[in-house]
Amino acid sequence: MSVLAAIAVLAVLIVVHEMGHFLAARLQGIHVNRFSIGFGPVLWKYQGPETEYALRAFPLGGFVGFPDDDPDSPIPPEDPDLLRNRPVLDRAIVISAGVIANLLFAYLVFVAQFSVVGVPNGFNVQPGVLIPQVMSADSPAGQAGIKEGDVILAVDGESLGEGEAAEKKLMAAIVASPNQPLDLQVQRGDRQLILTVTPKPDNQGVARIGVVLNPNGTVEFRRPTGVGEILILSAKEFQSMFTRTVEGFVSLVTNFSSVAGQVAGPVKIVEQGASLASTDAFNLFPFTAIISINLAIINILPLPALDGGQLAFLLVEAVRGKPLPSRFQENVMQTGLMLLLGLGIFLIVRDTTQLEFFRRLLQ
């Protein structure tokens, strides 16, 4: 059930993104002839008065189609309501609307979270350090058998204690032990295990094991005092998560070799979402928000076949006073699309082979 919930989150975010493009066009009176979720062969479709709505076989995204380049379209080429005949600003609004929709949706998810779950009001501390995320199966932690949701209670027989002090103690032990094995006492559900992990130095020479560390415990909640508190807290949480996400993308560019293994495809995202949902269904709120923000930032990058790439073409057109040759734009976009699909397939294959059940099949 948790896997289905994570898949549903991705599907909703795709719909939100494409709906942003769709509504931005229709509200300006621009013709739209296709609204598709997924790519490839059509599984289901409905023909509206002007627009065909479809679900396709490969749920790796979606698209909003315009009749501008459709040779079978009955709309004359000079129609002022074709997208290509609109001013640059109108087209920029349509192209950027998907990104705006995902960012707005992320904020509304936080509004829903604080409304339904409540406002954090303290932390019930418990012994140990929680592992909410293992970066990759190839990391020292992944190779040692550490899993998301594990709680590390002791290092080399010495108890970590609880709270932030336990987290700092574990971090200090890891940093002080490059290429030296550490015996970790791990709580996994109702079992306790001893796992041996060997920290490895990163590019800066700092020993890591490839996990995210959090104090172990449960957050206590209270009812919000009113709508104002919900909106303010949602804005603060959105700003914090947006900033951290942007910093993560900057790290990906400036220090690619050390963080490339953290790049996740649809399979890994679903796995992480399912893991969070299985622990607490309310974890789907921040999971949904961060994936929505990531989707927005990825799409605004000035890369071919992404919204940012199309906005880059519009910027060049605004500066030149005329668009770049259509043939050149099509070639760039098609090349970019093939590269993105290739990357998507690579990530799906890589993440699938790292799933626990798949590794067991190969054993």
What pairs with residue 17 in β-bridges? Answer: none
Which run of H or of E encompasses 187? strand 182-188
- Best CA proximity match to 134, nearest among 123, 124, 149, 120: 149
- DSSP classification of residue 283: G
- Category of 118 on φ-ψ map: left (φ > 0), alpha (ψ -120 to 50) or beta: left
* Rounded to 5°, angle at Cα 296 from 348 and 349: 5
Catalytic one among 18, 148, 237, 271? 18
The three-state secondary structure class of 103 is helix
Rounded distance, CA 217 to CA 151, Å?
A: 10
Amino acid letter, 2: S
In whole angstroms, give the CA distance from residue 363 to residue 358: 9
Could you say which DSSP state residue 267 is in? Answer: H
DSSP letter, residue 75: S
For residue 29, give every residue at least 6 positions away whose Cβ sits within 8 Å of its Cβ, in sequence order, or none. Answer: 81
DSSP labels for 124-151?
EEEEEEEEEEE--TTSHHHHHT--TT-E
18 is an active site residue: yes
Burial 125-152 (b: 16+ CB within 10 A, else e): bebbbbbbbbbbbebbbbbbbbebbbbb
Q: 323-362: b or e for each residue (b if 16 or more CB lie within 10 Å)?
A: eeeeeebeebbeeeeeebeeebeebeebbeebeeeeeeee
Q: 197 pairs with which residues across the strands? A: 182
- Rounded to 10°, the helix 284-300/227-254 angle is 50
The CB density around residue 234, as the number of other CB atoms within 10 Å, is 21
Active site residues: 18
